[in-house]
């Protein structure tokens, strides 16, 4: 089975590629249109954007961290028509060395995703984070966004 045949592997591949800043690998896991719901973490509204727009948004934030690590599991799947619904716990760690207020930010919750078949492969068409709690410096995303624009970290696609 390739990562596109195994539904649980699609989400794992996405998160590994995000942590490595391997943007083609990130894009390869996404449908043409993706609905994201990070409202419990950041407020705002549920977004429906193209896969390319979602990658661009993540490129404006994640390279500003010195490192990120997203861990999930176990991943449960349930058929929903022709799609699959995925559900898993997630812990996301984000580090920015020397940041005022602390260099670590942890996000802990539950991911819910919808996978849709596209040309025979599974792709993420919906992704929602249900937040359990945060810990550490919740101001790191703002700092990382600024740093991503001026001095981003180098991608590490060899670990994607």
Is 13 among the domain residues? Answer: yes
Q: Give the Cα separation of 141 and 146 in Å (integer).
A: 9
Task: Identify whether the C-beta of residue 111 lies closer than 8 Å to the C-beta of residue 124.
Answer: no
Is 146 among the domain residues? Answer: yes
Is 41 among the domain residues? Answer: yes
Is 69 among the domain residues? Answer: yes
Is 1 among the domain residues? Answer: no
**pLDDT tens-place string over residues 105-160:** 999 999 999 999 998 999 999 999 999 999 999 999 999 999 999 988 888 767 65
Into how many domains does the chain fold? Answer: 1
Q: Give the Cα separation of 83 and 69 in Å (integer).
A: 28
Is 45 among the domain residues? Answer: yes
| Euclidean distance between the first and the last CA atom of the chain, given in angstroms as a whole number | 17
Is 2 among the domain residues? Answer: no
**pLDDT tens-place string over residues 69-118:** 999 999 999 999 999 999 999 999 999 999 999 999 999 999 999 999 99
Phi/psi of residue 26, nearest 5 degrees: -60, -50
Q: Edge-to-edge strand order for the sheet containing 67-80? A: 47-50, 30-37, 121-136, 104-118, 83-95, 67-80
* CATH number of the CATH domain containing 36: 3.10.450.50
What global pTM score does this model have? 0.92
- DSSP class of residue 151 equals S
Task: Identify whether the C-beta of residue 115 lies closer than 8 Å to the C-beta of residue 29.
Answer: no
Q: Which residue range forms the structural domain that includes residue 137?
A: 7-159
Among 105, 86, 121, 83, CA closest to 12: 86
Is 50 among the domain residues? Answer: yes
């Amino acid at each position: 089975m390739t990562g596109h045949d195994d539904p649980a592997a699609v989400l794992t591949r996405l998160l590994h590629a995000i942590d490595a800043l391997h943007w083609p690998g990130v894009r390869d896991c996404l449908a043409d249109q993706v609905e994201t719901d990070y409202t419990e973490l950041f407020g705002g509204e549920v977004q429906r954007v193209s896969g390319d727009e979602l990658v661009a948004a993540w490129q404006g934030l994640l390279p500003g961290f010195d490192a990120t690590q997203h861990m999930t599991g176990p991943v449960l799947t349930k058929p929903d028509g022709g799609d699959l619904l995925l559900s898993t716990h997630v812990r996301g760690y984000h580090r920015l060395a020397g940041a005022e207020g602390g260099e670590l930010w942890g996000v802990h919750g539950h991911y819910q995703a919808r996978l849709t078949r596209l040309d025979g492969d599974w792709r993420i068409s919906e992704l929602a984070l249900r937040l359990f709690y945060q810990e550490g410096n919740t101001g790191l995303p703002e700092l990382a966004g600024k740093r991503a624009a001026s001095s981003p970290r180098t991608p590490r696609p060899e670990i994607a």
